Amino acid sequence: MGNVTVIGAQWGDEGKGKIVDWLASRADMVVRFQGGHNAGHTLVVGNQTYKLSLLPSGIVRGTPSVIGNGVVLDPWALKAEVERIREQGVDVTPGVLRIAETCPLILPIHRDLDGLREDASGAGKIGTTRRGIGPAYEDKVGRRAIRVCDLAHLGELEPLLDRLCAHHDALRAGFNEPPVDRQRLRNDLAEIADFVLSFAGPVWRDLDEALRDNKRILFEGAQGVLLDVDHGTYPFVTSSNTVAGTTGSGSGIGPSGAGFVLGIVKAYTTRVGSGPFPTEQDNEVGQKLGERGHEFGTVTGRKRRCGWFDAVLVRQAVAVSGVTGVALTKLDVLDGFETVRICTGYRIGGKAFDYLPPHAADQARVEPVYEEIEGWPGSTQGARSWADLPARAIKYVRRVEELIRCPVALVSTSPQRDDTILVRDPFAG
């Protein structure tokens, strides 16, 4: 039995939380390896709904869970999330949750900068969550981040603050904002330090021991491949690499540890925030998809843009992330449509494309080429085997496989944990 890496193969919000939770019952450890609390996973377990942003989805089951070094950690958001799910009956202890001591921290000054930049960007707004993710990653690569391990050495913080404030004070001055209040920042960090440090440790060593003991590790990505800072619809992307290749660098294992790469894909397409969206349906179809799919962001509450399935983009995501198999989610949302459409190619000024060009101007001019498929009158909701699906729904799934050049390993037919059709067991490789 091997490891499994779960990533989103669209623009995020594909239903990763349910799939990770479903797989976590058979994993020995769940690891989050990139992103921050801009991600959102919703888990429905019986009558209970859990909304997670930073915590790995395995935490709900009590599966040992790790926040890897590739995550940017807002310590105050972490504490609030831990307290919230503790109130829901989930026991979050240092024995269950481990945090890499090399995680960079998201500070109040990062949130400030994120909001100031968005407000000043006018038509160039990226549509960030304003939670400081991008500025925190900038400080990480700029070698001026304060990390989890620094919370154990607050008396030696001055050189770090000198570097950090030299950068941020200049930026804040450009927005007519006062310099960083260093004493307030010190006080804030001192207040949160013990809470964070109680979970901190050398998680790379935990992972190494797990691998040596042949334990099954489930790696959990955030956002989606189309939001990858290198491979996504730049500049309307997140500030980290979301592809499966980040599993190693974001957690502290070698690249061979990723195992089976499971790409999560909705049976249609959604996107939150700004950026190109070739198959977007700003009409009754899009409204129907949004209403039936309850398409509102877990983190922001923003209404998601909705459109038809884009096989071109998913095929591209499968290729750049080495996806082994996909989990097709929310198939039930398409129930009752007389016809459903799949984008099979693009045109720009009469020229055909079988991929999305990298330049934002070309992406904005893309015209989708559609293939129409007859819809199905029956219901797929709650189906747990192929025999429960209408024949036309199966035909749709098979056509998706052909177009994205990747087999379907799982089909999800409702938010409930057990409403899942297993085609291929990811842990079996």
Does the pLDDT at position 1 exceed 60? no
Predicted confidence at residue 129, as pLDDT, reads: 79
The Cα–Cα gap between 227 and 285 comes to 24
Instruction: Assign 3-class secondary structure to 101-118.
Output: CCCEECCHHHHHHHHHHH
**Model confidence, pTM:** 0.93
Q: Which residue has the tokens 């379907």?
A: 408
What is the DSSP pairing of strand 420-422 with strand 269-271?
Answer: unpaired
pLDDT in tens, 77-115: 999 999 999 999 999 999 999 999 999 999 999 999 999
pLDDT in tens, 55-69: 998 898 889 999 999
The Cα–Cα gap between 38 and 29 comes to 23
| Positions marked catalytic | 13, 41
Q: Which residue has the higher pLDDT, 26 or 164?
A: 164
The Cα–Cα gap between 36 and 33 comes to 10
pLDDT in tens, 212-244: 999 999 999 989 999 999 999 999 999 999 999
Among 40-49, 98-107, 418-427, where is mean pLDDT lowest? 40-49
Name the H helices within 311-384.
311-321, 360-365
The CB density around residue 56, as the number of other CB atoms within 10 Å, is 28
Collapsed DSSP state (helix, strand, coil) of residue 128: coil
**And the tokens for 12?**
């995020």
Percent of the chain clearing pLDDT 90 (strictly above): 81
Among 242-256, 286-300, 384-398, where is mean pLDDT lowest? 286-300
What is the DSSP pairing of strand 269-271 with strand 305-307?
Answer: antiparallel
pLDDT in tens, 287-334: 999 999 989 765 666 789 999 999 999 999 999 999 999 999 999 999
Average pLDDT over residues 139-150: 97
